[in-house]
A and B are shown apart, each in its own frame.
Chain A
């Protein structure tokens, strides 16, 4: 035999050494005192274990290959692999003496040992080819894989392998049901601590998977001191610096977040209760606040979801049935479109009576409709029936709904008769009852009957006094021929509209009351105010309407208007078009440097009785009343003064507005009229343009 065979025989011999050592370790079991250096060897188990798995599986694979070269190599694989299996088993048995116990460990241990024995057995079997080698090696492969699996369970946790394909659906827990320990504290232990402190892997003799064991603590002492976070061992370890050997969780594991540490600390500080519910805490306590951030106010539901086809069949354009959110079995139902409401459709609730938690029937005409269907909805929590024409007798059914928490019946004017049935609804947390039809005393009484219900009676308009908004004046055109039709309106139907036509302020007692349409025959300024009981009168609105005048035989302007505001020059004054309240609209003649002066030729046979000039005022645009007005007439070439006037000047900024200057003409015959309007030569001191010249804007001259 050559050298290689000596190596082979040496390795073959070694196999029996491993078998023997294994036997000793098994028999010795927990009674063995393992020296420190052997512990180090034991801890190599997780490293070495990969070799036998790979090498043996390769060896097994060669058994199926017919080529001789592979067969030869395969034997070597089996030999080498069996030796590694031996080392692994021995190291594993030493390691097992440390802190491990439990089901997974037992399975892992014995399967590992069987794998070792089998691999050795097959090695020798292959030496003398035998038909059963394929059977045995298949069995070995299975053992190897299972051993590996249980080993992985030990280090990574029971559900490590299948976790990704298991449903990750997180249980939604409602705040009111959550327990402090079970739902807040334990989940932290479960994710961050328990993999090393549980049955099968009790590091530091501490088990967190068992409540009694947890309370007992580990090798260093009790786990915690209730009410004393400073002296609670586990919190001390958590707070040690990361580099410290005693720091928990160990450096290489996922660390606790600040939030989690805070939560654990607060839990211990508040007495480390194991069975208290979060809802039993004060709402201001730190733990409650932490908890309320964690849990939704959303409830969990025990009942089964309704079938998709049932939900589908109930949905139409006017009724929406859908889960509260995609994962919830609870359904909400909303009706839309009062005109399409069919009372019979309420019977459809039968199909989903267990799942419906919320119903919205706002604005549906429910008067006289039977609400008996509600009786079946035992899980109903919220019901909205605002503005439905509901009657007191219809709400009696509500007392049969034990879970009803929120009821909205605003806008139904239910009145005192609703007191009795409503007073029985002490299951309610919230009652929305605006426009209830109850007196103040009755409201108080209802609140007394429903002690724990928060009742919102809503806005009470009694005693609220507001100013009415101004009415609207409508007419076709601000210039009219013989007469003009004016219509007044106000959005509040009960409002009374009073008006004047002489420019004076309307009042609530003596001014004319508007009933239908107003006709005027003269140029007038109409002022309107709205009044109503329990309201403050509106501010006035006004409009100026102009009666079209006669046309003169001819007319001429003495001075050209400012080129920017020359409109249609003299034509503008008699075109029968009222300028808009904007001096740049191209309908106004503007004068600043020179005065406005117009000379009208008229028929002396029928001289006019009156002259009116329509002006625009807008102080912020430097447009003021004229400084002086000169009115002259001439007959037979002689001019005669009629009026020299200086209209009252503006004293502050006002809105853009019209002004009408009216002058009576002498009752005699004349051929010409001359009107001169001199713009203000110095703007007053309060004006930003104080001292400079102002403007006069004219759009129309009326002669009657």
Chain B
């Protein structure tokens, strides 16, 4: 036995070892041919994916997402249902509801009386789209709009629904849509963040928005949305403290960069170079941001276009104007949130106020982009996280009623950026409860938006905790019918 072991050991001489080693090398070489990137570091593999982006010629370069937080009622905006007005106060037929779930706010109601829009509807433009009298300005640009009446979502409460729209998952730990685009396409203008966030609040019943909605999730922190505030300091911590000159700041950054560079040479951690780059970007932002937030150079007609509110920082109109300026300067994704659409009661009154906030400025943004020749490369999206019920919540009167959350059918619109213009897509039943034609799921919407930006939603992935994540999770189909 001992002899055999010795023999075995002696047989493993250098020549044999080397010749067998060559076999191993051969199989490794084959492996690398079969699985490209097998021996790449993760970073590089991702970078090579980045070089391939966009996956195809994009139709839109930038997005402005006008999120109507709190869920505006589709029945008082774009989904005209005369039957509900006719059948005022009648019970919602079980054949329509089909036992679908309700929120805890109305599930206990003994009756579900139908209630039609307090506001009149008319048809506009070549598409003859129905739009309520609350939105005269949007009605005037209807031929630029692509109204989708057949959106549906999975969540029934604000926070999960909002998170779902923005991140593709109801639980908040995933990157936001803007972060995915920042990751996938980067910034056009390296002196500004790729993803900016603007908040405003109407007088209607509001629902909170939290910074997790513009979180980078597991992506690199540089893809996080940068919130612009309406204070004197639009980007927090960006201005130099009093008494510090730009030269001093430059010197300081140079010194820090030199030290960072030393530690990079020692540790080779790419995070260190990322840090240096971020300091540099902040330095450039110090001049780029004031150039953009300064509205004094805007012509007077702009104020008439957006309405005088646009001069009051923090209003929706001011944010629309700022969004246009950011987008024009190459910001990939501008995310607005306008709060106050959650009209569980006193809906007509609340809608009047909310519509007044957003109607003129939303339409103005589209007109403004158009007259600069930018609308065809900028996608504007307007919509909430779900719709509202066709039955009344609480006390019912023709001029005073409320509506609960309704995820089964709601309306949004898009404009510009390679989307078809002047069309109305999808249809709901006469009760405005269920979709009867061309349903568009939130993931389909996300896939379509990415498609317009030149991205195959199945290919924009990031590996985290052992699996590859996408904005559309494992779902989503591009709605080709919406693409011009």
Name A's B-contacting residues (CB within 8 A): 172, 293, 296-298, 317-318, 320, 324-326, 328, 334, 336-340, 362-363, 384, 386, 406-408, 410-411, 430, 432, 434-435, 456-461, 464, 466-469, 491-492, 535
The residue of chain B having its C-beta at the shortest distance from the C-beta of A465 within the complex is: B304
Partner of A317, one of B284, B300, B309: B284
Which residues of A lie under 8 Å from residue B57 when comparing CB positions?
Answer: 172, 296, 298, 324-325, 328
Q: Mark B221-262, 1 if CB is under 8 A from A, else 0.
A: 000000000000000000000000000000000000000000
Let me know if B191 and A326 touch, CB within 8 A: no
Partner of B371, one of A298, A326, A459, A468: A459
Partner-binding segment picked from B18-26, B47-55, B162-170: B47-55
Let me know if A320 and B189 touch, CB within 8 A: yes
The residue of chain A having its C-beta at the shortest distance from the C-beta of B297 within the complex is: A387
Complex Cα–Cα for A355 and B308 (A):
44
Which residues of B lie under 8 Å from residue A456 when comparing CB positions?
Answer: 370-371, 373
Let me know if B373 and A432 touch, CB within 8 A: yes
Partner of A408, one of B52, B58, B329, B372: B372
Which residues of A lie under 8 Å from residue B484 when comparing CB positions?
Answer: 297
Which residues of B lie under 8 Å from residue A458 when comparing CB positions?
Answer: 367, 370-372
Let me know if B372 and A434 touch, CB within 8 A: yes
Determine how close the nearest CB of chain A comes to the CB of B297; give it in whole angstroms. Answer: 8
Partner of B480, one of A293, A339, A406: A293
- B330: CB under 8 A from chain A? yes
- B209: CB under 8 A from chain A? no
The residue of chain A having its C-beta at the shortest distance from the C-beta of B313 within the complex is: A491
Q: A298-B57, A435-B299 are in contact. Are A336 and B371 (CB under 8 A)?
A: no
The tally of residues in B whose CB lies under 8 Å from a CB in A reads 41
29 contacts between A and B (CB under 8 A): A296-B57, A298-B57, A317-B190, A317-B191, A317-B284, A320-B330, A325-B57, A326-B52, A334-B330, A336-B188, A336-B190, A337-B191, A362-B372, A384-B372, A386-B373, A406-B373, A407-B373, A408-B374, A432-B371, A432-B372, A456-B370, A457-B371, A458-B370, A464-B304, A469-B311, A491-B308, A491-B311, A491-B312, A492-B311
DSSP class of A's interface residues: helix, strand, loop or mixed?
loop
Let me know if B372 and A410 touch, CB within 8 A: yes
Let me know if B189 and A336 touch, CB within 8 A: yes
Which residues of B lie under 8 Å from residue A408 when comparing CB positions?
Answer: 372-374
Let me know if B51 and A326 touch, CB within 8 A: yes
Let me know if B373 and A339 touch, CB within 8 A: no
Could you list 10 further interchain pairs (A-B, Cβ under 8 angstroms) beyond the known A334-B189, A459-B371, A466-B308?
Answer: A296-B56, A325-B57, A334-B188, A336-B288, A337-B287, A408-B372, A410-B372, A461-B301, A461-B305, A492-B311
Let me know if B56 and A459 touch, CB within 8 A: no
> CB within 8 Å of A: which of B318-347?
328-330
Determine how close the nearest CB of chain B comes to the CB of A258; give it in whole angstroms. Answer: 14
Which residues of B lie under 8 Å from residue A328 when comparing CB positions?
Answer: 57
Determine how close the nearest CB of chain B comes to the CB of A329; give it in whole angstroms. Answer: 13
Name B's A-contacting residues (CB within 8 A): 51-54, 56-58, 188-192, 284, 287-288, 291, 299-301, 303-305, 307-309, 311-312, 328-330, 364, 367-368, 370-374, 454, 480, 484
Let me know if B330 and A336 touch, CB within 8 A: yes
The residue of chain B having its C-beta at the shortest distance from the C-beta of A322 within the complex is: B188
Let me know if B303 and A492 touch, CB within 8 A: yes
Let me know if A384 and B373 touch, CB within 8 A: yes
The 5 closest A-B pairs by CB, nearest first: A458-B371, A491-B311, A408-B373, A461-B301, A432-B373
Which residues of A lie under 8 Å from residue B364 when comparing CB positions?
Answer: 459
Complex Cα–Cα for A328 and B480 (A):
23
A to B contact number (C-beta, < 8 Å): 112
Which residues of B lie under 8 Å from residue A317 when comparing CB positions?
Answer: 190-191, 284
Complex Cα–Cα for A535 and B191 (A):
38
Complex Cα–Cα for A326 and B188 (A):
15
Complex Cα–Cα for A236 and B295 (A):
67
Let me know if B300 and A461 touch, CB within 8 A: yes
Let me know if A435 and B301 touch, CB within 8 A: yes
Which residues of A lie under 8 Å from residue B53 when comparing CB positions?
Answer: 326
Let me know if B305 and A386 touch, CB within 8 A: no
Which residues of A lie under 8 Å from residue B58 when comparing CB positions?
Answer: 325
Which residues of A lie under 8 Å from residue B189 when comparing CB positions?
Answer: 320, 334, 336-337
Q: A317-B191, A336-B329 are in contact. Are A459 and B368 (CB under 8 A)?
A: yes
Q: A296-B57, A334-B188, A362-B328 are in contact. Are A459 and B372 (CB under 8 A)?
A: no
The residue of chain B having its C-beta at the shortest distance from the C-beta of A432 within the complex is: B373
Determine how close the nearest CB of chain B comes to the CB of A629; give it in whole angstroms. Answer: 34
Which residues of B lie under 8 Å from residue A338 when comparing CB positions?
Answer: 291
Which residues of A lie under 8 Å from residue B301 when comparing CB positions?
Answer: 435, 459-461
Let me know if A410 and B330 touch, CB within 8 A: no
Let me know if B311 and A386 touch, CB within 8 A: no
Determine how close the nearest CB of chain B comes to the CB of A259; give it in whole angstroms. Answer: 11
Complex Cα–Cα for A456 and B368 (A):
11
Complex Cα–Cα for A535 and B300 (A):
12
Complex Cα–Cα for A535 and B304 (A):
9
Determine how close the nearest CB of chain B comes to the CB of A31; give it in whole angstroms. Answer: 51
Which residues of A lie under 8 Å from residue B303 when comparing CB positions?
Answer: 492
Determine how close the nearest CB of chain A comes to the CB of B454; give it in whole angstroms. Answer: 6
Which residues of B lie under 8 Å from residue A430 when comparing CB positions?
Answer: 373
The residue of chain B having its C-beta at the shortest distance from the C-beta of A458 within the complex is: B371
The residue of chain A having its C-beta at the shortest distance from the C-beta of B303 within the complex is: A492
Determine how close the nearest CB of chain A comes to the CB of B177; give it in whole angstroms. Answer: 21
Q: A325-B58, A386-B372, A410-B371 are in contact. Are A336 and B191 (CB under 8 A)?
A: yes
Which residues of B lie under 8 Å from residue A410 when comparing CB positions?
Answer: 371-373
The residue of chain A having its C-beta at the shortest distance from the C-beta of B52 within the complex is: A326
Complex Cα–Cα for A469 and B191 (A):
34
Complex Cα–Cα for A467 and B307 (A):
9
Which residues of B lie under 8 Å from residue A298 when comparing CB positions?
Answer: 57
Which residues of B lie under 8 Å from residue A293 when comparing CB positions?
Answer: 480
Determine how close the nearest CB of chain B comes to the CB of A410; give it in whole angstroms. Answer: 5
Complex Cα–Cα for A491 and B318 (A):
12
Let me know if B454 and A325 touch, CB within 8 A: yes
Complex Cα–Cα for A122 and B57 (A):
60
Which residues of B lie under 8 Å from residue A386 when comparing CB positions?
Answer: 372-373
Which residues of B lie under 8 Å from residue A460 when comparing CB positions?
Answer: 301
Which residues of A lie under 8 Å from residue B454 when comparing CB positions?
Answer: 325
Complex Cα–Cα for A362 and B52 (A):
28
The residue of chain B having its C-beta at the shortest distance from the C-beta of A538 within the complex is: B308
Determine how close the nearest CB of chain A comes to the CB of B42; give it in whole angstroms. Answer: 21
Which residues of B lie under 8 Å from residue A362 when comparing CB positions?
Answer: 328, 372
The residue of chain B having its C-beta at the shortest distance from the C-beta of A326 within the complex is: B52
Determine how close the nearest CB of chain A comes to the CB of B124; give it in whole angstroms. Answer: 18
Complex Cα–Cα for A298 and B56 (A):
10
Which residues of B lie under 8 Å from residue A461 when comparing CB positions?
Answer: 300-301, 304-305
Complex Cα–Cα for A469 and B304 (A):
11
Which residues of B lie under 8 Å from residue A468 when comparing CB positions?
Answer: 308
Complex Cα–Cα for A466 and B136 (A):
14
Determine how close the nearest CB of chain A comes to the CB of B14; give it in whole angstroms. Answer: 28
Which residues of A lie under 8 Å from residue B330 when comparing CB positions?
Answer: 320, 334, 336
Complex Cα–Cα for A481 and B372 (A):
54
Which residues of A lie under 8 Å from residue B51 when comparing CB positions?
Answer: 326
Complex Cα–Cα for A432 and B52 (A):
33
Complex Cα–Cα for A536 and B309 (A):
14
The residue of chain B having its C-beta at the shortest distance from the C-beta of A362 within the complex is: B328
Let me know if B312 and A326 touch, CB within 8 A: no
Determine how close the nearest CB of chain A comes to the CB of B364; give it in whole angstroms. Answer: 8
Complex Cα–Cα for A321 and B369 (A):
23
Let me know if A326 and B54 touch, CB within 8 A: yes
Determine how close the nearest CB of chain B comes to the CB of A24; give it in whole angstroms. Answer: 48
Let me know if B370 and A411 touch, CB within 8 A: no
Determine how close the nearest CB of chain B comes to the CB of A297; give it in whole angstroms. Answer: 8
Complex Cα–Cα for A492 and B192 (A):
28
Determine how close the nearest CB of chain A comes to the CB of B47; give it in whole angstroms. Answer: 13
Determine how close the nearest CB of chain B comes to the CB of A292; give it in whole angstroms. Answer: 9
Which residues of A lie under 8 Å from residue B329 when comparing CB positions?
Answer: 336, 363
Complex Cα–Cα for A548 and B192 (A):
51
The residue of chain B having its C-beta at the shortest distance from the C-beta of A413 within the complex is: B299
Let me know if A466 and B287 touch, CB within 8 A: no
Which residues of A lie under 8 Å from residue B367 when comparing CB positions?
Answer: 458-459
